[in-house]
Amino acid sequence: MIICSKLADFERAMCQLPKDCEIGFVPTMGALHNGHVSLVKKALKRTKYVIVSIFVNPTQFNNPMDLEKYPRTLEEDCNKLEQAGAYLVFAPGTHEIYPDTHSKQFDLGGLDKYGEGPSRPGHFNGVAQVVTRLFDIVKPTFAVFGQKDFQQLAIIKHLVQSLGYNTQIVTGNTVREKDGLAMSSRNMLLTKEQREAAPLIYKTLRKASAMAAQNLCSPNELCKWVIEQIDSNPLLETEYAQILDGSSLVLATSWQGHKELQLCVAVNAKPVRLIDNIKIK
């Protein structure tokens, strides 16, 4: 497996690839877990030329403390990726990704109005900055993103279409621990007690999905119930629970008029922030 930290070295390595080969791309911020590995393996089903980036992107952190505490485990990450079968790891420094300025603003199509958008001002614009920059560098045939970051996935699909990137966006399923907690790099920051409490999030989402299928209450009432259930554990505090249209990401006020609906939550196990989602209609 090739490892590059400099852009010039990466470009030289890419020049050695066979002409017209498919290039699969999995962008990450490191601290890799089995969820990331599943994305790499999904890409490997299409091509052996799978590129993985490891870059903790400063522009998508609206909280400087969150950026500082974000786990960095490059050596361990590279070992996992070599075992998984990745072809190349690109682990650049900030100056390699943003040599000049990183203040470019993107039209996100209103997809950041709800969910993570209000809670994390500038977050999705930062995601757009780094993803478009990496796409310009890697020029992938396809890129794989996880369903856990449901809103991010929708915004990236919008960017690809609106900006004319010739890259297919492939969705990887959310990978969970045996107790249902969605795998996340931030899980390693949880205390033992918080880790024991955290599976309540997905357990509640599953119950909510069953309730929605039976039309037992309105979307607003269901979200209130979700918050009450999660907040019943003193170690968890729900930041939001929202039911969003699967395409437009607008807030659903009724069950009618939507092809697909996604229940999205953000929960604080202070200072760790966890997100999850589930399709309910």
Q: Of 36, 123, 158, 258, which residue is the catalytic one? A: 36
pLDDT digits (tens, 9 = 90+) for 94-120: 999 999 876 789 999 999 999 999 999
pLDDT for position 20 = 92
Domain boundaries, the chain: 2-172, 185-279
pLDDT for position 62 = 85
pLDDT for position 73 = 96
Q: Pick from 268, 281, 149: which is nearest to 219 by CA?
A: 281
pLDDT for position 281 = 83
Which amino acid type is present at position 208?
A: A
Name the CATH superfamily for 2-172.
HUPs (3.40.50.620)
pLDDT for position 64 = 87
Q: How far is CA 28 from CA 49, 121, 132, 249, in A?
A: 17, 21, 14, 24
Fold of 185-279: Pantoate--beta-alanine Ligase; Chain: A,domain 2 (3.30.1300)
pLDDT for position 211 = 95
Annotate the chain with DSSP letters as a single string.
-EEE-SHHHHHHHHHTSPTT---EEEEE-S---HHHHHHHHHHHTT-S-EEEEE---GGG-SSHHHHHHS---HHHHHHHHHHHT-SEEE---HHHH-SS--------TTTTSSTHHHHSTTHHHHHHHHHHHHHHHH--SEEEEETTSHHHHHHHHHHHHHHT---EEEEEPPPB-TTSPBP-GGGGGS-HHHHHHTTHHHHHHHHHHHHHHTT-S-HHHHHHHHHHHHHTSTT-EEEEEEEEETTT-PBPSSSTT-S-EEEEEEEEETTEEEEEEEE--
Q: Angle, to 10 degrees, between the axis of helix 74-84 and the axis of helix 34-44?
A: 40
pLDDT for position 183 = 97
Q: What are phi and psi of 266, to 5 degrees?
A: -130, 130
pLDDT for position 228 = 98
The CA distance from 39 to 27, in Å, is 10
pLDDT averages per 10-residue partition of the chain, 281 residues: 98 96 98 97 98 96 88 96 98 94 88 96 96 98 97 97 98 97 96 98 97 93 98 98 96 93 97 96 83
Q: Indicate if 36 belongs to the active site.
A: yes
